[in-house]
Amino acid sequence: MAANGINVLTDYTMRGGEHPHIETNEIEEEITGAAMQDFLSNPHFKGKSLRWAYNFKHFHTIYSSGHPMIRDWLYKHRPYPQHIEIEPTTACDIKCTMCEHTWWDHEKIKTLRYDEYVGIMEQFPQLQQIGLTGIGTSYLNPWYMKMIDYCTERDIGIELFDTFKDLNEERAEHLIKSSAYKVYVSLDAATKDTYEKIRVGSNWDKVMSNIKTFDRVKKRLKQHFPIFCFHFIITKYNIHECVKYLDMVKDLNIDVAFCQFSRMLHPYAETLDQFVHIPEGLEAAVRQRGAELGIQVVWNGNATLEKDKAPVEACTVWEQPFIFSDGTVIPCCSLNEENDRDHQRNVASYGNVLEKNFREIWQGWDFNNMIDHLDQGKTAPNCVNCILYRLPEGPYYGEASEDGAANIEKYDAECDIEYDDKGNIDTVLVDGEVLHQVEKFEA
């Protein structure tokens, strides 16, 4: 890779010193050059440090880049993780219908203590980015804000997901002044009625007011970061509101970076009545409305039709391991939400960072055996429940859902959407029966 002319300013100490591999140095120099350019001339980076800009660029260059060169470099060198996800707590005080937390029957609630957290973080001296969300409501961890402050002191870029039911002016200001680069509000409906049926225990009006507070505080502080994004999990309960959702977001009249649509990650027995495969044409309809309204739409990889998925050897998301609040390390976050934490601990996991040093785990047999399998396009034992990539054996929806597999196939074939002449969703049919007849709204 060619450096871009300002690599004379390259700060080797910032990126952990000279690397033993020529390719690694070249990639790092490219990232440093791009970070320097943004730091010097991009107004969005005003108030951010050069290290923060470098960390931001690092994550966005490496994580899930899809670039074959980066893919090959990752598989060859298996660099020590510079991006991770940590689950602050598994406590939650509401019951969303599509979330495994609602259906756990024997999982013990665990809140990561601050000393445990620091013990983990210190094992990643070159950490650039962290996802600080797990299966739970992070605000129920009493050290959550302190955990964020710890990252801010190290200029580590933070990504967060939150319902916004617990946000207030003070918390908004704290987040906006932190090193967070992206905050998602998890909001899966265009109407109060549908929202409160899905997010049982949350309140639409309060969440709407908190969303506006966040936008107002960002504007008062004149900050571009963290960018503000909306996350919609598609289920049978809300599939008819996907297009209308964009109109609702537009009407909020706030700054939104994008709206992301995801399928439920995994089907399992308790949620089969709401799990829906993404029907052909839905993505195009949502994207078209997004283009008309000037709202960017992100279609999550898990909502990609099976036939359009990339083969498993293209996977690089293992470079960002996911750490449970009890220390269990799993290959990536997409193995969550399968309502089988026992399977995740016993089969998917390749170690526990509260029991063993992470470097030993990363250099151990379990992790390297997994990467060898993926590199050769084979299903790694850890990844049998993968839903992001195409496994050689075809789709497998996980042990927890074996009973429901036949039903899932049925939805695959028979969930259908009819559109009106403007491309809006008109009718959603399952098994030939009308599930939703969409109420008309003004374009």
Ligand X SMILES: C[S@@+](CC[C@H](N)C(=O)[O-])C[C@H]1O[C@@H](n2cnc3c(N)ncnc32)[C@H](O)[C@@H]1O
> Which residues are at the interface with ligand SF4 (CB under 6 A)?
92, 94-96, 99, 101-102, 135-137, 163, 312, 315, 317-318, 331-332, 334-335, 374, 383, 386, 388-389
State both tokens at 21.
């591999």
SS3 40: helix
SS3 182: strand
Please identify the residue of the shown chain whose CB is closest to the bound ligand X: 186
Separation between Cα atoms, residue 150 and residue 172, nearest integer Å: 17
Count of beta carbons in the 10 Å neighbourhood of residue 399: 14
The reply to whether 303 sits near ligand X by the rule CB under 6 A is no
324 within 8 A of 134, measured Cβ to Cβ? yes
Among 90, 163, 178, 344, binds ligand X (CB under 6 A): 163
Separation between Cα atoms, residue 419 and residue 285, nearest integer Å: 8
Cβ-based neighbours of 141, under 8 Å, separated by 6 or more: 88, 89, 91, 111, 112, 147
Among 133, 344, 385, 424, binds ligand X (CB under 6 A): 133
Q: How far is the CB of 231 from ligand X (least distance, A)?
A: 4
Nearer to ligand SF4, 99 or 130 (CB): 99
The reply to whether 335 sits near ligand X by the rule CB under 6 A is no
Nearer to ligand SF4, 128 or 163 (CB): 163
Question: Could you tell which of ligand X, ligand SF4, none binds residue 312, using a CB distance below 5 to 8 A set by kind?
Answer: ligand SF4
Question: Could you tell which of ligand X, ligand SF4, none binds residue 332, using a CB distance below 5 to 8 A set by kind?
Answer: ligand SF4
- Nearest CA among 118, 100, 15 for reference residue 275: 100
Could you tell me whether strands 416-419 and 425-430 are parallel, antiparallel, or unpaired per DSSP bridges?
A: antiparallel
Q: How far is the CB of 297 from ligand X (least distance, A)?
A: 16
Q: How far is the CB of 317 from ligand SF4 (least distance, A)?
A: 5
Question: Could you tell which of ligand SF4, ligand X, none binds residue 183, using a CB distance below 5 to 8 A set by kind?
Answer: none
Q: How far is the CB of 12 from ligand X (least distance, A)?
A: 37
The stretch among 22-30, 74-82, 96-104, 364-372 that binds ligand X (CB under 6 A) is 96-104
Build a one-symbol-per-residue string for 370-409: x at contacts with ligand X by CB under 6 A, - elsewhere: ----------------------------------------
* Burial letters 125-156, b for 16+ CB under 10 A, else e: eebbbbbbbbbbbbbbbebbbebbebbbebbb
The stretch among 40-48, 116-124, 131-139, 427-435 that binds ligand X (CB under 6 A) is 131-139
State both tokens at 330.
């799993």
**CA angle, 412 as apex, 408 and 416 as ends, to 5°?**
130
The reply to whether 186 sits near ligand X by the rule CB under 6 A is yes
H helix intervals, 166-281: 169-176, 192-198, 204-221, 242-252
Residues at the contact surface with ligand X, assessed by CB under 6 A: 92, 96, 98-99, 133, 135, 137, 161-163, 184, 186, 231, 233, 262, 264-265, 337
